[in-house]
Amino acid sequence: MASLDAYMAGLNRGDEVAVNAACNFPHVRIAGGKVVVWQKRGDYKLEDFRARAGDGWARSQWDERTPIQVGPDKVHLKVKFSRFRADGSSLGTFETIYIVTRQDGHWGIQARSSFAS
């Protein structure tokens, strides 16, 4: 959960380094009929996120984070998150599967399959 917390906090601060640090690489995102792979730390760009987050995106929050399979070096989670504009109005709520892995002692988000754009 700490990796997910770090990811969301970095995202909401606009801190690209923190967002990348919360991930393991290669990092895979499956959404909108596309598969995107970021090969190494630093490849994940917040500019790309903002382009798909929705008009006026200001912040996101976790609504649910439920482990569905747990192993010593990998966890599959059912998550739900919401995106908001600065005035608090909703841009949407999305259900996703996240895969968090431990690589060389570092826990990070490695893959996501989302219904978000």
CATH number given to 2-114: 3.10.450.50
- What does the domain layout of the chain look like in residue ranges? 2-114
Beta bridge partners of 60: 83
What is the residue-level pLDDT of the chain in tens, covering all 117 positions? 999 999 999 999 999 999 999 999 999 999 989 999 999 999 999 999 998 888 899 999 999 999 999 999 999 999 999 999 999 999 999 999 999 999 999 999 999 998 876
Burial class for 109, CB neighbours closer than 10 Å (0-12, 13-18, 19+): buried
